[in-house]
Structures are given as C-alpha cells and as structure tokens.
Amino acid sequence: GKTLWREKDSQRSGALWPEQGCAALGRCCPGRDPTCVARGPPRCFCDQACGAVRDCCPDYARVCPVVSCVVAEWSGWSCCVKSCQISYRIRRRRVLREPRNGGAPCPPLEEQAGCVDYRSRQGVECQQSLIPALITTGSYGKERKKRRVPKKYCVQFQLGPIPGSCRQVRAPHAQWTRYLTQGHTVCVSCEWPAQDARSRRCYGDASPLSCRNQLLQWQAAGHPPCRGTWERLRQLRDCSCPEVHSLVFV
C-alpha cells in the first residue's frame, strides 16, 4: 500500500523515481518510436512525437531539448567551372551543429550562380563575345576580385517584353529576375572582367554609335529561360538606378 501511494504521488507531482524518465533511459529518439519508452509506472516516452501524443516523460524537455541546425558562413565564390563560355561558380558552407529532437533542419549547403571567365586557365584572353548580353544582379560586381583596370561605365537600357519564366525561379541567386518589368529602365555596369581588353567595352554592350531604337538581346546568368530584348538609351559614368534595377554585365 505504501509503495502504490508513492507511485501515485509521483505521478501527480511530476517527480521521477531514480530509474524512471528520459535521463534514466539515456535516449532521445526522432519521430514516433514505440521502443523509446521509459520505465513506469506509468510508462512514458522520449521520442519526438511524444509532445503531440502527450505521453512524454516529465523530464523530456530538460533531457531532450530542441536543437536547431547551425551552419557556418558561406565560403567565397569559386572560379567559373569552365572558361571562355557561360558556366557557373559554386560556394559552400558547412554544418556546425546537426539538428536534434525536432529542431530546424539544415539549409542548403551549396549554391551555384551563373558566371563567365574571359580568360583561359593559362591566362589567355578569350577571343569571343557573348550574344546575347549576359547579365546578373549588381551585387555580383561587388563580389568580383578587384584589380587596377580602366574605370567602369554604366549603360541604361529600357526593357522589352519579359517572359513568364523570369518569375518562375527557385534558385536564390536568380531571385532578382522577378523584378524585371517591361518598360522599366535598368542600369547595367560595365566593368572588368567583362570589358574587352582592346575596346574597353563590355561583351554584349552595343556600340554607342549603333542605330537608335535597335533592339538588343539579353539573358539572365544562372537562369537561361529568362531572356528578352532591350533598347540602349544612353551611357553614363555612374549607375544611379534603384537596387532592384541595378545589374552588371557578366
């Protein structure tokens, strides 16, 4: 009778006997695991689903706390995988702490972004130009390795019709294509290494002496289905468009 009274009192107070609970079991199990059960009476569980079923051991929250994934900062972008053609670059990050007990899962550990390397692995300049013009968000220009080169310049274009594929994008590095709108003016920065060594003009940028109202072609780096036409308006020394309309020749 005394033992039964102690068991009932323990159940009412949430206290545990020395050999009861998750601490004594020594396990914290993912999902619903019927084998992840601690000694009773009454029996209680130490699995992730016990909260929804409401049969957790009293010490579950203390012994099996929710731990979310933690990742390191992104590495720098790699060089383009292939030179002298439209290719892609990669950056990675590593897991610092794995998720446990229903914590938030780890985000993607690798990203790719479109790019072009205008020099071969031997350092020889590529003898070609890109048609259509390959463009990406202006933030890419800030990530490029800098060196002493002639001053960059800016070109303003008026966008023509925008295909629906520009808004059907999942890749994080191509989300900027969602903001492209027909009739809007965009600023495209021309800077190294997209500049031709001789003419100091960007591959894909028409000559300032070309016919006005001439429609030129463009394509989003890293999202090939997003492509269209634009009209060259003017050349400026500096770009002054809003961030969502600030682009760079790749």
Kindly report, residue by residue over 127-139, the tens digit of the pLDDT: 555 557 778 887 7
Residues 41, 152 share a domain: no
Nearest to 20 by CA among 33, 3, 37: 37
150/243 same-domain check: yes
Instruction: Tell whether the torsion through CA atoms of 160, 161, 165 and 166 is positive or negative.
Output: positive
Which of the listed residues 11, 42, 63 is the one where a domain comes to its end? Answer: 63
Within-domain flag for 121: no
Task: Report angle CA 104, 46, 24 to the nearest 5 degrees.
Answer: 125
Q: Which residue has the tokens 């303003």?
A: 156
Q: Is residue 170 part of a domain?
A: yes
In a domain, 200, yes or no: yes
For residue 197, tell me if it sits in a domain. Answer: yes
Res 97: pLDDT: 93
pTM of the model: 0.52
Going by their DSSP bridges, the two strands 246-249 and 133-137 should be labelled as: antiparallel
**N residues, the chain:** 250
Determine the pLDDT at residue 142.
58
How many distinct structural domains can be found in the chain? 2
Average pLDDT per consecutive 10 residues, the chain (250 residues; last block may be shorter): 38 53 89 87 87 89 92 88 77 92 89 73 62 75 53 87 90 86 91 75 64 71 86 86 85
Whether 189 maps to a domain, the answer reads yes
Among 32, 63, 94, residue at a domain's last position: 63
Model pLDDT, residue 164: 92
Tell whether 40 and 138 lie within a shared domain: no
Has residue 15 been placed in a domain?
Answer: no
Contact between 160 and 182 under an 8 Å Cβ cutoff? The reply is yes
- What are the pLDDT digits (tens) for 156-173? 999 989 999 999 888 877
Residue 79 lies in a domain: no
Q: Structure tokens of 247?
A: 């682009």
Q: Are residues 59 and 134 located together in one domain of the fold?
A: no
Instruction: Please identify, among 63, 87, 117, the residue that sits at the C-terminal boundary of a domain.
Output: 63
CA distance 104 to 160: 42
Domain membership of residue 169 as a residue range: 130-249
In this structure, is residue 245 part of a structural domain?
Answer: yes
138 in the same domain as 45: no
